[in-house]
Amino acid sequence: MVEIAFAKLALPKSGALALLVAEGEKPSGLWEQADQATGGAISRALEAAEFTGGKGKTATLLAPGAGLSRVVAIGLGKPASLTASTLQEAGGTAAQALAREPVAAIAAANLTGAQAAEVGFGAQLRSYRFDRYRTKEKPSDKPRLARLTVLTGETGPAKAAWEAQAAIAHGVNLARDLVSEPANVLTPVAFADRCRALTELGVKVEVLGPKEMTKLGFGALMGVAQGSVQEPRVVVMQWNGGEGKKGKQKPLAFIGKGVTFDTGGISIKPAGGMEDMKWDMAGAGAVTGLMAALAGRKAKVDVVGIVGLVENMPSGSAQRPGDVVKSYSGQTIEVINTDAEGRLVLADVLWYCQQKFDPAFMVDLATLTGAIIIGLGHEYAGLYSNDDALATKLLAAGQATGEKLWRMPLDEAYDKQINSDIADMKNVGGRPGGSITGAQFIQRFVNGKPWAHLDIAGMAWSSKDSAITPKGATAFGVRLLDRLVAEGFEA
Ligand code: BES
Ligand code: MN
Ligand code: ZN
């Protein structure tokens, strides 16, 4: 992992340097110094590359002199439209451009401490790599960047702002690790063990196994689990950082779908692309990463995170299409399609969350439906909510973090689609509005609480690099929900 540091604005005597340049900006300060020290090589190169600071544009100059191994100019775009996201993206682009350099610095004309921390945040997020199973990679093919120093006139404020950012980056990278792990490694039991490790951050962690869940009556979750030799787990993580009297404040609740592998069960999925279903626990991964982030930055708020962990397999003991199960809420469900398993898991976990914690609100995250990918592609996650105030806050957090949400409808008329002839409901509502009927199903397990459901099926994994997210697991939801908590609910 790249170590992010902060230091005073001074021209490095060696190593690589990234210069963040606004559109139309003229050389000054450190940029001018570097240019003079290299006999004008930098300005000549930027001119030849027609680099003018356009957002996301880069120009690279190798061995320009003055002891520098490489200078990379990175465009910030128009100064008036400079946002935290732009700074993060510039940091990410710099980390990628400097990945082959062991030591490097990033500078701009005058970054405030807070801005420098944003740059560092983007660099840290882009430098993530899941390489624990690569045993034969040549050292020359590996990234070498070990330490990246962001130069700023305000090192004190930068370091202070970085403390929280580093905790969030750790949460994001934890979620990415969980999502990237293959399903033979990350079983429900192994996932629960990784959650247990959060006790080191001060999180209270409790784990329910099959005996307790059967006794409680988690018939919907246990029905999914019964086809697998891997035992299910439900993990309850509590962070009590609120300043109120402990136990008096209603906690915020986040719930994640954690299907460690989804074959579809007896309603088995086609073979092509099935390997992707190792990341059907991305909702649970995001909740776990969020808890790590909140605890890591000592958020002043009481939060409970609950993940439902099961493997959905076909076998002689698997549930059959047509089976009727009784959920923890008491409502019965006709399981028409064993591949609509996420909602069965969430049904029991949501009910448990309300019974046990009486939360202020619940937000669940789930890679719930292929239908949301048809609707929104890989740009927005679907947001469903019974509470306009909560939905508004979530939409705003999405815009601020770039983890964007699009609100979808809930309606009686859709709800009818999941009525069953022989039970209280069925677990699928046909093809029309497939993501919506999934949300309607979950809503039947919301007992009058403010609630939001995020269908993140299109967002959990990315097939291409972006400025702050290398391809692979995105950890979608960690930054979004951390922001929701920070902006709306911290003391
Ligand atoms: N985990 C899948 C949803 C999914 C599909 C996530 C593709 C990511 C990519 C979920 O359990 C599922 O199988 N949903 C079914 C629901 C259907 C049977 C009503 C689906 O979307 O096909
Ligand atoms: Mn499924
Ligand atoms: Zn699934």
Domains of the chain, residue spans: 3-154, 167-488
Tell me which CATH code domain 3-154 carries.
3.40.220.10
Q: How far is the CA of 45 from the centre of ligand 2 (A)?
A: 53
462 touches ligand 1 (CB under 6 Å) = no
- Reported as a single tens digit per residue, the pLDDT across 353-362 is 999 999 999 9
Going by C-beta distance under 8 Å and a sequence separation of 6 or more, which residues neighbour residue 452? 361, 362, 363, 364, 383, 384, 385, 387, 390, 391, 394
Cα–Cα dist 225/233, whole Å: 9
Catalytic residue among 129, 250, 269, 326: 269
Instruction: Tell me which of 42-56, 234-248, 261-275, 378-392 is least confident.
Output: 234-248
Evaluate: CB of 457 within 6 angstroms of ligand 1: yes
Q: Which atom of ligand 1 is nearest to the CA of 259?
A: 1
Q: What spacing in Å lies between the alpha carbon of 53 and ligand 3's midpoint?
A: 44
Find the ligand nearest to 279 CA: 1
Kindly report, residue by residue over 328-361, the tens digit of the pLDDT: 999 999 999 999 999 999 999 999 999 999 999 9
Cα(375)–Cα(332) distance, rounded to whole angstroms?
A: 30
Q: Which of the listed CATH numbers 3.40.50.12160, 3.40.640.10, 3.40.630.10, 3.60.20.10 matches domain 167-488?
A: 3.40.630.10
Q: Is 343 a catalytic residue?
A: yes
Of the ligands numbered here, which is closest to the C-alpha atom of 375? Answer: 1
State pTM to two decimals: 0.98
Report which ligand 1 atom has the smallest distance to the Cα of 269.
13
CA of 437 to the centre of ligand 1 (A): 12
Tell me the pLDDT tens digit for each residue of 47-92. Answer: 999 999 999 999 999 999 999 999 999 999 999 999 999 999 999 9
Regarding the beta carbon of 54 and ligand 1, being less than 6 Å apart is answered no
Alpha-carbon span 172 to 128, nearest angstrom:
10
Measure 323 CA to ligand 3 centroid, in angstroms: 18
